[in-house]
Chain A
């Protein structure tokens, strides 16, 4: 089989699994998860084969694996559907396949496969736990299996299909299809436990917020298609004629070229999908879903899709960029990315929910990637995308494992605490050693611990890229964000794993099953090693020992590779200082927490409250958008327009009709028509009543009457004719 055929099969496998589970096996949990696993496993295998072939192919960026067939004929042009594997999609495929497979395996354990059914469990709510009796007659409460187990695997299979589709496709339209299917899956999986009101609200919030971005993206897509007549990547992005044409054509918005406008519109799609300010609000709430979903959708893959889009369209976004003056979309990306990176990092400082910290750190790291693209650090952005996917999937799965362990403790002790609140944890490193070490690897990668972790290399590249581009403001903002990242990561690790247990439940926490810890180990391997493929040449001492394969491979995607930046030691020193300094500060601040109370809450005072409440962005949106929208809907449209004016007109029309009808009835219908009808009837009846007395049934009377009549007629005839 050619490699193109293999690529076609990658997204098909999870799709087949989805349909098989939904249509046939949804009543059988074991068969369902095996189907999902086989689908993801085959997709993984094919991805690895394709990836292996891709990295051995010379000049892949100019001659990617591609195949296409006609899809939608549209007048003189036509849309094609097809696949394309170039260096960027190859590396994306690599991390997507790995994280998806690991998360699938992890989900089996997370949803308590093999545990008894809970007595009070019902679909739409997280399992409450079941009571079992052991051999000695003691009763225990143990975790119970998820009531909608098969449904979960069906949905994440569909999700995996959409992500693979988005990665292997060769045009923007199919990418958009995958993008929207993921939006749907995200909606369904955030609201997986739809019995909880918070989950229902979160699912709607996520769907609507990302939709804002999607609409703009669709506009950009339509503009691109109407101007170029194609949506194929190669035809647009690898074609200087098209790019320059777009860059020189003026759009309806004054002063912006079409390339700039389309770039901005596509970027707004990314803002929605990758949760950048100001559309970041959905992602923290998306943590209402089961933890594998948080890992998969809201850390490793779906939010990556937004960054993937802007990396993919970087040639368009940067048309006209000469290496010094940023284009408008780049400026926008640099600004929003850097701001989001810092903004989300500060919020993460004051969150106590273990998953929410990670959610804000995801937003922050995505902002990093966007900012990297904004300053033109194309390879660094792609690099950070991949390293981040691995360590963030790891961190989320690790946090899920922690929550699971805590839930075990909660079930055991019967304490009434939130098993996700870090303040009630502590000392878990003894109880959950595998989770601790893997989480530590992920956490250090996130904070950019020097040399050994993947996060350091990618983050360092972004910082040096920002410095080299001359955008010093962005550089310093990113450096500050990196400091805060290291700080809150250490806070999280310290509160969760170090010190002493701060609750009964934490004391009784238990390490998760191997089916959950094995994916953690695999992901932590990548969280460390993946960085080594991109060690820059200029790095002191160790630079050049391992070739900077990643930059060569992915960097070949650009038509004109950015000129090698002038290297300086300042960004390197900065990234070392912020990473180590942040970690140290975090450890110092949180190592002596013995009560479930944040030691920074008092000294920071109002700032802490502000951060705790996420800068009140949700409240501002509530006030600025939702309340006006509700007012518009309830008061203006419903009460005034609808019920007063339209209903008023309709009611008066109705009343007039009623009046007219009553009048006509009273004056015409009742007297004339009914009267005539009744008169006919009653007259006939009266005549009948009179006449029936004649009908006596006595024949002789009839004969007598007849005789009398004949006599009368005879007399009449006699007087009229005979005499007259």
Chain B
């Protein structure tokens, strides 16, 4: 059986890639993609912890799976809203670059 640490290291790596993408990419669509990566890293974590937890207790728990499914739903909704926002911002500003969307500058 694959030790849990491998899953966690993979998940952490995935999360860091997503975090880097969200912070460093200029394109709003790429930022959204980075966020998706971070969400999926979390999903990997959740599934991994659920799998080991269920095996240790030898019981057929499903709450890890349900949690992950919820995350998918939320992520899908987030992508739908996020992409709509990005398209709307693009239509107004003719740019997908978030550095130029500084309306909230103090």
- A interface, CB within 8 angstroms of B: 691-700, 703-704, 707
Contacts and interface: CB of A to CB of B under 8 A. Distances in A.
B55 to A, nearest CB: 28
Contacts of A691: 106
Contacts of A696: 102, 105-106
B23 A697 contact: no
Nearest to A696: B105
A104 B99 CA distance: 106
Contacts of A699: 31, 98, 101
Interface in B84-106: 98-99, 101-106
Contact of B22 (A694, A695, A697, A703): A703
12 contacts: A694-B106, A695-B105, A697-B101, A697-B103, A697-B105, A697-B106, A698-B105, A699-B31, A699-B98, A700-B23, A703-B23, A707-B23
Contacts of A694: 106
A704 B105 contact: no
B98 A700 contact: yes
Nearest to B102: A697
Contacts of B98: 698-700
A707 B105 CA distance: 20
Contacts of A700: 22-24, 31, 98-99
A692 B105 CA distance: 8
B19 interface: yes
Interface string B27-56: 000010000000000000000000000000
What size tier do the contact residues of chain B reach?
10 to 19
Contacts of B24: 700
Interface string B57-93: 0000000000000000000000000000000000000
Interface of B: 19, 22-24, 31, 98-99, 101-106
Contacts of B104: 695, 697
Nearest to B19: A707
Q: Which of B24, B104, B106 has the most CB of A within 10 A?
A: B106
Q: Which of A699, A703, A704 has the most CB of B within 10 A?
A: A699
B33 to A, nearest CB: 14
Contacts of A704: 23
A686 to B, nearest CB: 14
A691 B99 CA distance: 19
Contact of B106 (A695, A703, A707): A695
A263 B2 CA distance: 142
A697 B103 CA distance: 6
B106 A698 contact: no
Contacts of B22: 700, 703
Contacts of A703: 22-23
A693 B106 CA distance: 7
Q: Which of A691, A692, A697, A707 has the most CB of B within 10 A?
A: A697
A707 B104 CA distance: 20
B23 A698 contact: no
A309 B24 CA distance: 120
A700 B23 CA distance: 5
A699 B105 CA distance: 10
Q: Which of B23, B98, B101 has the most CB of A within 10 A?
A: B23
The 6 closest A-B pairs by CB, nearest first: A695-B106, A697-B102, A697-B105, A692-B106, A697-B104, A700-B23
A700 B26 CA distance: 9
A668 to B, nearest CB: 37
